[in-house]
A and B are shown apart, each in its own frame.
Chain A
């Protein structure tokens, strides 16, 4: 702060208490003499340490720390590293928040989608339990094959990078897959995880595969997903029920996956 002797700065009006010190120094720059007034606030901080700790702080240095035996290749430094952060994993900011969010989502789900009592009856776990419960087909549909596990076991054979998906596992060939039961969900918020999709879309029908498209580097969702149902009818139902659903702050778009 550079101030003229005659001109009073607004900062001078700050009340003087014991902690505030005024330091005045003079500096010559470009042939002009400046008076630099600095106000310094000193803050005293007391920390209590055990007796042993205080004693150990007075210990004499020994070994390398004395600097006697230092040779060229040993360099001792202690630097303050740059500011780094505890990078929190998405969705687990707080346990309570997660549960609340889950409940809210369920609440929204209840009011917006399944007002019809007949549909409600089909959904297990809508009261009480919130997660993990997938839609179970009624008894007369027992011939439907069980859903293929999406987490394929890792094989030790070499897979070219081009054939790997985000999880590092071999992706099954896109062209082999039957696209007729698959819907494309877009306009998802990037906080939505695959498990969320399972919870919501699993209530409409039996899921065969859920694939949330993520950025390979950052693992952040790209905002769209492919969901394969076991039958075409269920996929149709999903489009009918879930298209234009308001989820988080966005409106979902559910349509047939294009080949």
Chain B
């Protein structure tokens, strides 16, 4: 396979997101820029200029609105087609992660801790008029619900049918909250180091967590029951579940500042593929020359994109032999 190498960012890539049809790819970077590219030819469509490092982003299902989480203590709502800023959600600490709820009229954002503030997950609703017109909204937006917690949250996602919110924390725990009452429903503590990212399968029934303890773990979303463990040799920064095959991809690498403190080699920054059920390693795709921060499968599962410390986004489409690989008695799903 010949990957597209998308290069517009001068600093590490922090997030990648495909829109629902998979024809656009959104890239957030620490150089205060969000770019959007066509996936069929790798052409740059546009950019959204921020004033601080962008940590996370999400696109709604109709590909009209984009939300971004920024380290300048704001979350932003953008019009995708024109690149205009519509609304700004001020916080008192940097925003770490952000996600649209199913349906696109709610979103959550995760804020960091500071001297006065505890780490929190905040839920905002997006009024209809923000979808209908592209006029910038000056009104101050107030969070609908605030879930506070004593441990720093690294990433939070909506559970199935927006009923729950699941978050990964720096103490290695995964916690589940009710999205209407903010009540804690459950907790799993299988990882012994920071969880960096969590991701759900396409049907949201499975959850995978990527952790600095060199493993990725697969959970049942509803009960947070541990199902499988995938072992890597390096810290895992990101993991994803394929929507097409029984595959798991995970990636990471030892960060440059930790090389002298660790035993491993720092020269391998590959995306590693595992079998979802049998936990065995199927193969690797190499290419990056720095730790990989984010992986995302295309919505049809025929390819994947990876973004890393080197500022490159590599957009791969699998060769036939990978797509036709025998991956168990079930064969291809979907």
Interchain CB contact (< 8 A) of A63 among B46, B280, B282, B325 = B46
A50 B7 Cβ-Cβ under 8 A? no
A154 B286 Cβ-Cβ under 8 A? no
B192 at the interface (CB under 8 A from A): no
A49–B40 Cα gap in the complex (Å)? 11
Shortest beta-carbon distance, B123 to chain A, in Å? Answer: 28
With contacts A53-B23, A87-B283 known, is A81 near B264, CB below 8 A?
no
Residues of A in contact (CB 8 Å), total 36
Residue of chain B at shortest CB distance from A89: B281
Q: Mark B35-64, 1 if CB is under 8 A from A, else 0.
A: 101101111111111000000000000110
A65 at the interface (CB under 8 A from B): yes
A64 B44 Cβ-Cβ under 8 A? yes
A85–B142 Cα gap in the complex (Å)? 49
A96 at the interface (CB under 8 A from B): yes
A83 at the interface (CB under 8 A from B): yes
With contacts A86-B319, A92-B280 known, is A62 near B83, CB below 8 A?
yes
With contacts A78-B42, A80-B2 known, is A86 near B322, CB below 8 A?
yes
CB-CB contacts below 8 Å: B77-94 with A: 81-83
B281 A56 Cβ-Cβ under 8 A? no
A73 at the interface (CB under 8 A from B): yes
Specify which chain B residues have a CB less than 8 angstroms from the CB of A50 in the assembled complex: 21
A33 at the interface (CB under 8 A from B): no
B186 at the interface (CB under 8 A from A): no
With contacts A56-B23, A57-B38 known, is A84 near B287, CB below 8 A?
yes
Specify which chain B residues have a CB less than 8 angstroms from the CB of A87 in the assembled complex: 283-286
B328 A95 Cβ-Cβ under 8 A? yes
A77–B47 Cα gap in the complex (Å)? 14
Specify which chain A residues have a CB less than 8 angstroms from the CB of B1 in the assembled complex: 83-86
Specify which chain A residues have a CB less than 8 angstroms from the CB of B45 in the assembled complex: 59, 61-62, 65
CB-CB contacts below 8 Å: B301-334 with A: 314, 316, 318-319, 321-322, 325-328
A124 at the interface (CB under 8 A from B): no
A73–B46 Cα gap in the complex (Å)? 18
Specify which chain B residues have a CB less than 8 angstroms from the CB of A84 in the assembled complex: 1-3, 285-287, 316
A84–B275 Cα gap in the complex (Å)? 21
B4 at the interface (CB under 8 A from A): yes
Specify which chain A residues have a CB less than 8 angstroms from the CB of B43 in the assembled complex: 78
CB-CB contacts below 8 Å: B19-41 with A: 21, 23-24, 33, 35, 37-38, 40-41
B326 A96 Cβ-Cβ under 8 A? yes
Specify which chain A residues have a CB less than 8 angstroms from the CB of B224 in the assembled complex: none
A52–B59 Cα gap in the complex (Å)? 15
A85–B319 Cα gap in the complex (Å)? 8
A130–B164 Cα gap in the complex (Å)? 44
A85–B317 Cα gap in the complex (Å)? 11
Q: Mark A88-113, 1 if CB is under 8 A from B, else 0.
A: 11001011100000000000000000
Shortest beta-carbon distance, A165 to chain B, in Å? Answer: 12
B81 A59 Cβ-Cβ under 8 A? yes
A62 B46 Cβ-Cβ under 8 A? yes
Q: List 17 A-B contacts (CB under 8 A).
A: A52-B63, A61-B44, A62-B45, A62-B47, A63-B47, A64-B44, A64-B46, A74-B10, A78-B42, A79-B5, A84-B285, A86-B283, A86-B319, A86-B321, A86-B322, A92-B275, A92-B283
Question: Which A residues contact B (CB, under 8 angstroms)?
Answer: 49-50, 52-53, 56-57, 59, 61-65, 73-89, 92, 94-96, 154, 159, 168
Given A52-B21, A57-B38, A78-B4, 15 further pairs, Cβ under 8 A: A52-B63, A56-B24, A61-B44, A62-B47, A63-B35, A64-B44, A75-B7, A76-B44, A77-B5, A78-B5, A80-B5, A84-B286, A86-B284, A92-B280, A95-B327
